C-alpha cells in the first residue's frame, strides 16, 4: 500500500462526493424536472402585422392556436400573410426558448449542464 494511504482516509482526499453535494445534486435534478414539466405546459403568445396574426405555442414547441384577422386575408397579400404567420410563430417559439433557458439558469446557477446531457 502506498505511503500515507489507507482506505479509511480515501473520502477525505477529495476522491468522492460528500453527502451534502449528493443532496444538492439530487435537489437540483428534482427542481430541473419540475421546471421542465412546468415549462412544457406553459403557453407563449406572439403577434405580428399589428395584431393581424396571433400565434400561441406550448413549451413543447407545438402550435396550439393561430388567429388571423379576416382583414389580413386579401388574395393580393398572400405572401405578406405567410410572412406574418411565420413571424408570429417564430417569435412565440423564441419566447418559449428564452423562458426555458432563464428558468434552467436560475436552477443551475448559470452552470452549462447541456454538455453533460443533463
The pLDDT assigned to 7 comes to: 47
Cell of 9: 482516509
Helix, strand, or coil (residue 1)? coil
DSSP string for residues in 62-94: -EEEEEE-GGG--GGGHHHHHHHHHHHHHHHHH
Distance CA 55, CA 24 (A): 39
Among 81, 78, 94, smallest CA distance to 53 is for 81
The pLDDT assigned to 29 comes to: 87
Question: Is 104's pLDDT higher than 50?
Answer: yes
Q: Give how far the C-alpha of residue 68 lies from the chain's centroid of Cα atoms, to the nearest Å.
A: 27
Neighbours of 54 (CB within 10 A): 19
What does the pLDDT look like over 55-93, one tens digit per residue? 999 999 899 999 999 888 888 888 888 899 999 999 999
What does the pLDDT look like over 13-40, one tens digit per residue? 455 668 888 888 888 888 888 888 888 8
The pLDDT assigned to 52 comes to: 92
The pLDDT assigned to 78 comes to: 86
Which domains, ranges and CATH numbers included, belong to the chain? Answer: 34-105 (3.30.1310.10)
The pLDDT assigned to 72 comes to: 82
By the 10 Å C-beta count (0-12 exposed, 13-18 middle, 19+ buried), 9 is classed as exposed
Sheet holding 53-58, edge to edge: 43-48, 53-58, 63-68
Amino acid at each position: 500500500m502506498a505511503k500515507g494511504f489507507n482506505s479509511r482516509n480515501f473520502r477525505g482526499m477529495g476522491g468522492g462526493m460528500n453527502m451534502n453535494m449528493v443532496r444538492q445534486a439530487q435537489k437540483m435534478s428534482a427542481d430541473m424536472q419540475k421546471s421542465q414539466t412546468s415549462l412544457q405546459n406553459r403557453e407563449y403568445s406572439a403577434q405580428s402585422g399589428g395584431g393581424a396574426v396571433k400565434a400561441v405555442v406550448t413549451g413543447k414547441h407545438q402550435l396550439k392556436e393561430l388567429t388571423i384577422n379576416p382583414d389580413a386575408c386579401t388574395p393580393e397579400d398572400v405572401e405578406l400573410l405567410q410572412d406574418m404567420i411565420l413571424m408570429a410563430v417564430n417569435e412565440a417559439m423564441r419566447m418559449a426558448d428564452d423562458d426555458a433557458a432563464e428558468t434552467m439558469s436560475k436552477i443551475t446557477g448559470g452552470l452549462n449542464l447541456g454538455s453533460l446531457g443533463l
